[in-house]
Amino acid sequence: MKTRKLGNLEVSAIGLGCMGMSHGFGPAADRKEMIALIRRAVELGVTMFDTAECYGPYLNEELVGEALAPFRGEVKIATKFGIQVVDGKQIQDSRPEVIRKSVEGSLRRLKIEAIDLYYQHRGDPNVPIEEVAGTVKELVKAGKVRNWGLSEPGISSIRRAHAILPLTAIESEYSMWWRKPEAELLPTLEELGIGLVPFSPLGKGFLTGTIKAGATFGRDDFRSIVPRFAPKMLAANQKLVVLLNELAAEKGCTSAQLALAWLLAQKPWIVPIPGTRQFSRLEENLASAELELSPEELSLINTALEEVEVVGDRYPEALEKRTGI
């Protein structure tokens, strides 16, 4: 597996997003199978694993901690603070005392002495980012955190946080069907020397071509409340799937591999973290790290993408308000 750098943190070119193994996409998968899947990822060269305190809550960190316990020092684990689950609802809470409590819980569940990459999961409108950065700076000095980042922050927050404690990475949704980061986020990160970790690089499964028009999702599947996955939107967005299938066929790869290779080709400091519960999909996704796209191929793909209009919001309004803080 090729490697890349997020700031000064060197990791595999493609990481593994672990959320969906126990949270967000229906009932949790079999624990033993997911431990085996994570360990298979290590065998295939993955060194970047992503989880969060609120996934489950807590279940996903416990899963990742158990699975990666034999590989301490060989892999990097990213987790997140700043979203608490109270009475079944997520609330943003980045008060210093909450962060300090969160880090202790994450260290215990992950079975590690220091967190390799600690993200603020979402901004807290009630806590200045300078206060958050200062708290994490104390945790770095205490040896409990090695690097830190922000998930889906506003540009102003990135600059203000970076001035207090240099950021290693920003986590943000970014894919062929969510390209908003190209306008302001990517230029800002390039200027400041901060890496980008795209989550949902396969559009929550849509870019694999396996989600057809008319697909439905259970109430425990996050996509059931995402406007972009509503029946009319899914039908309209099939044009993107058709295009992607055609481009992938020309390249001799799968749609998912092309979508990931396209992301990797955007910047050398981009490390996508596709998630999966299937061993075959894991191997398929990781193989995209070896897929090279020439400037001519990228130009052709981008021209084709510009001719397809993606419809539907990526989040319900209430969740979109949590981003860009």
End-to-end CA distance of the chain: 35
Q: What DSSP assignment string belongs to 9-46?
A: EEEESS-EE-GGGTSSBSSPPPHHHHHHHHHHHHHTT-
Answer yes or no: are the C-beta atoms of 49 and 15 closer than 8 Å. Answer: yes
Report the candidate in 193, 208, 198 with the shortest Cα–Cα distance to residue 255: 208
Is residue 298 within 8 Å of residue 304, measured between CB atoms?
A: no
Tokens at residue 142, please?
A: 């205490």
Identify each DSSP E strand in 160-244 by its residue range.
169-173, 195-199
Q: Which of 138, 256, 163, 145 has its CA nearest to residue 207?
A: 256
Other beta carbons less than 10 A from residue 211's beta carbon: 19
Closest CA to 301 of 259, 252, 254, 264: 259
Q: Is 315 a residue of the active site? A: no
CA dist 174 and 160 (Å) reads: 23
- In one-letter notation, the amino acid at residue 176 is M
Quote the CA–CA distance of 259 and 264 in Å, as a whole number.
9
**Cis-peptide, bond into residue 57, ω within 30° of zero:** yes
**Residues in Cβ contact with 17 at an 8 Å cutoff, skipping those fewer than 6 apart:** 50, 199, 273, 274, 275
Which residues belong to the active site?
55
